[in-house]
Chains A and B, each alone.
Chain A
Amino acid sequence: MMLRAAPILIGVALVSVALAGQWMIGGGASLEGRGGAREVRADAEGDAAVIARTAPRVSAGLVDYHGVEAGVSCMTCHSTREPDRANGLGGALPKTFHQGLAFAHAGMSCLSCHHADDYDSLRLADGRKLAFRDSQQLCAQCHGPQTRDYLNGSHGGMTGYWDKSRGGRVRNACIDCHDPHAPAYPALIPVFAPRDAAARQQAEREQRHHRHE
């Protein structure tokens, strides 16, 4: 038993050392806002699958013995510090651990959604804890119409079966497309530009038109 646990312990120790080192030289580890492992599980109806996430982990930029990216939980640091309840979004957040995050979510503060007593959990509006894997419930508190549409299959991408008696489906969760810290849907570069006569001629005409102007 000890023998099998040994590599893990060694791994954790190494990561801690590495993190501490980075902390000291000020390089900072990056916190992926949508981090955490993906897992597939059945939704409330039990006939479709949704992807949920466990609590995010701070990446050390290293891999462990098993080749898995090494990370530490939020509580590793936050258990040693008092939460700054007055902090607004993005204001004076320690840049080191939370870099790479954009903040644009209706002026909410970190602790609107993150639980001050348990940083490995989320916080519902009434103060109750919520596991990261249930983050959809957090979104649903404010985004009722979207949640309603989502539950009725008319919001959010999916793959699989329309006929639920013949197969399940995999659905995106809110945070697959919407960064919870800046949820506006990102702009995309469209793919597969048409290249038939219509597109060609339209481009030519527009070019002529611009030249005239």
Chain B
Amino acid sequence: MNKAALRKQATSYRRFLWQAARDATEGSAWFYAWMILLTALALVGLHAWAVQMRDGLAVTGMNDHVSWGLYIANFTFMVGLAAGGVMMVIPAYLYHDHEMHDLTIVGELLAVAAIVMCICFVVVDMGRPERFWHMFPFVGRFNFPVSMLTWDVIVLNGYLALNLHICGYLLYKRFLGERPNPRWYVPFVYLSIFWAISIHTVTAFLYSGLGGRPLWNTALLAPRFLVTAFIAGPAFIIVVLFVLRRLGGVPVARRPLEILVNVVRVTLLINLLMVVSELFTELYGGGARTASGHYLFFGLNGANALVPWIWTAVGMGVVSAVMFLRPGVVAHPVWLTVACALAFTGIWIEKGMGLIVPAFIPSSLHEIVEYFPSLVEWQVSAGIWAWGLLILTVALKIALPILREPHPEREKASHTVEAAPRADAKST
């Protein structure tokens, strides 16, 4: 490539970024209100974290007995969301389903936002985050491959890079008005599908490898993580699609929606089966190894702070599973949104407060110390969620033109769910 061509490319790339920045900051009053709300929340979280850095993690509800709490709970859930978003792409490429291809970009943008949130949740959980460079090869000491955490660092960052590349490439090509060259993204999409499975498997191994924590020390953990990822990811994407249709005028094809719904339908049931299996093993066997399970579901020696949480999660799981079984549920957006919200929240509880926290209760010396997240933890967590949603909103905003683009296949398809009136057509 000669110099002139390089310069031309650099110029157009700068123009692309400029355009993206404009797309991201222009919108209706509702858009501004939403962005201001998220920014405010993110700032509240940032402040809470700064206080936590100064005064120490003593400002959280954690202690030497329950040494991981809301942060790592959210981290675990976010890994699932990140994986779930991309694993949805599997049917698209496996079955050459062109309509599903459009979902790729939504799933991967979700993955990017979720991974950023994952990294944030790990950083706020660290006592000395400024020492992050201790992990770098050559200058630091990276305990690879013995520590599962080093695997997680690799797969999460790799996953972030992969998805940034895919999304960035597709958006840039579209900006140039060129057709994306499959050679430059399809292999990465395949890679990111396998990678998605790896991030969640590795995260499960992080916990299941610890012999001293019987609640985690189960081979079912990795499969359960994957299954719940297949619930949370698609459920979130379904809701995003509805929002995009309503606010962004993006048509939603029926078939991809049906595939998503079918995936959630099945995985919700598989997850319930897994929960029942765990519960049975805990209850029928008994013994000290099952104390955490007893604590979680029924309370132990008068300590029962997590009981309402877990039964809420189970209830949400059952109700959403039943709701998803309704025939033709795709045609009922409100019903479907409620079902997705229930499934999503249920999994959030189950994988967070219902999985990370109870492994520490009772402690390894069987002392029962209950955990209640402090205000600071809620603020920081809400801040990170707001930050992630901010990223997702901006990313979707930039991707809107691509999503609105009529797809050759779609035009042929007769059963496109009719697009809702474009609410903010003027402003965008």
A–B touch (CB < 8 A): the answer is: yes
Residues of A within 8 A of B (CB): 196-198, 201-202, 205, 208-209
**Contact, CB under 8 Å: B368 / A196:** no
Residue of B nearest to A200 (CB): B369
Q: CA of A198 to CA of B360 in the docked complex: distance in angstroms?
A: 12
**Contact, CB under 8 Å: A196 / B303:** no
CB neighbours of A208 from chain B (8 A): 302
20 additional A-B residue pairs with CB within 8 Å, beyond A198-B368, A205-B302, A205-B368: A196-B63, A196-B64, A196-B65, A197-B63, A197-B65, A197-B369, A198-B65, A198-B363, A198-B367, A198-B369, A201-B303, A201-B368, A201-B369, A201-B370, A202-B367, A202-B368, A205-B301, A205-B303, A208-B302, A209-B302
CB neighbours of B367 from chain A (8 A): 198, 202
CB neighbours of A198 from chain B (8 A): 65, 363, 367-369
Q: Most chain-B CB neighbours within 10 Å: which of A198, A202, A208?
A: A198
CB neighbours of B369 from chain A (8 A): 197-198, 201
Q: Mark B348-371, 1 if CB is under 8 A from A, else 0.
A: 000000000000000100011110
Query: What is the CB-to-nearest-CB distance from B374 to chain A, in angstroms, rounded to a whole number?
Result: 12
Query: What is the CB-to-nearest-CB distance from A203 to chain B, in angstroms, rounded to a whole number?
Result: 12
CB neighbours of B301 from chain A (8 A): 205
Sampled A-B contacts (13; CB under 8 Å): A196-B63, A196-B64, A197-B63, A197-B369, A198-B65, A198-B363, A198-B367, A201-B303, A201-B368, A201-B369, A205-B301, A205-B303, A209-B302
Q: CA of A202 to CA of B367 in the docked complex: distance in angstroms?
A: 8
Q: CA of A56 to CA of B363 in the docked complex: distance in angstroms?
A: 52
CB neighbours of A202 from chain B (8 A): 367-368
Q: CA of A205 to CA of B367 in the docked complex: distance in angstroms?
A: 12
Q: CA of A103 to CA of B425 in the docked complex: distance in angstroms?
A: 100
Q: Mark B165-190, 1 if CB is under 8 A from A, else 0.
A: 00000000000000000000000000
Residue of A nearest to B66 (CB): A197
Residue of A nearest to B64 (CB): A196
CB neighbours of A197 from chain B (8 A): 63, 65, 369
Q: CA of A178 to CA of B302 in the docked complex: distance in angstroms?
A: 42
CB neighbours of A201 from chain B (8 A): 303, 368-370
CB neighbours of A205 from chain B (8 A): 301-303, 368
Q: CA of A8 to CA of B325 in the docked complex: distance in angstroms?
A: 106
Q: CA of A209 to CA of B368 in the docked complex: distance in angstroms?
A: 15
Query: What is the CB-to-nearest-CB distance from B369 to chain A, in angstroms, rounded to a whole number?
Result: 5
Q: CA of A196 to CA of B363 in the docked complex: distance in angstroms?
A: 14
Residue of B nearest to A206 (CB): B302
Q: CA of A201 to CA of B303 in the docked complex: distance in angstroms?
A: 9
Query: What is the CB-to-nearest-CB distance from A195 to chain B, in angstroms, rounded to a whole number?
Result: 12
Q: CA of A205 to CA of B369 in the docked complex: distance in angstroms?
A: 10
Q: CA of A37 to CA of B13 in the docked complex: distance in angstroms?
A: 93
Q: CA of A208 to CA of B302 in the docked complex: distance in angstroms?
A: 8
Q: CA of A197 to CA of B65 in the docked complex: distance in angstroms?
A: 8
CB neighbours of B370 from chain A (8 A): 201
Q: CA of A202 to CA of B363 in the docked complex: distance in angstroms?
A: 13
CB neighbours of B368 from chain A (8 A): 198, 201-202, 205
CB neighbours of B363 from chain A (8 A): 198
Query: What is the CB-to-nearest-CB distance from A45 to chain B, in angstroms, rounded to a whole number?
Result: 38
Q: Mark B117-140, 1 if CB is under 8 A from A, else 0.
A: 000000000000000000000000
Q: CA of A205 to CA of B363 in the docked complex: distance in angstroms?
A: 16
Q: CA of A197 to CA of B63 in the docked complex: distance in angstroms?
A: 8
CB neighbours of A196 from chain B (8 A): 63-65
Q: CA of A197 to CA of B58 in the docked complex: distance in angstroms?
A: 12
Per CB-CB distance, the 3 closest pairs between chain A and chain B, nearest first, are A198-B367, A205-B302, A198-B369
Query: What is the CB-to-nearest-CB distance from B366 to chain A, in angstroms, rounded to a whole number?
Result: 10
Query: What is the CB-to-nearest-CB distance from A187 to chain B, in angstroms, rounded to a whole number?
Result: 25
Query: What is the CB-to-nearest-CB distance from A38 to chain B, in angstroms, rounded to a whole number?
Result: 40
Q: CA of A196 to CA of B303 in the docked complex: distance in angstroms?
A: 17
Q: CA of A205 to CA of B368 in the docked complex: distance in angstroms?
A: 10
Q: CA of A197 to CA of B369 in the docked complex: distance in angstroms?
A: 7
Residues of B295-326 at the interface with A, using a CB-CB cut-off of 8 Å, are 301-303
CB neighbours of B302 from chain A (8 A): 205, 208-209
Query: What is the CB-to-nearest-CB distance from A193 to chain B, in angstroms, rounded to a whole number?
Result: 14
Q: CA of A205 to CA of B361 in the docked complex: distance in angstroms?
A: 15
Query: What is the CB-to-nearest-CB distance from A204 to chain B, in angstroms, rounded to a whole number?
Result: 9
Q: CA of A196 to CA of B370 in the docked complex: distance in angstroms?
A: 12
Query: What is the CB-to-nearest-CB distance from B378 to chain A, in angstroms, rounded to a whole number?
Result: 19
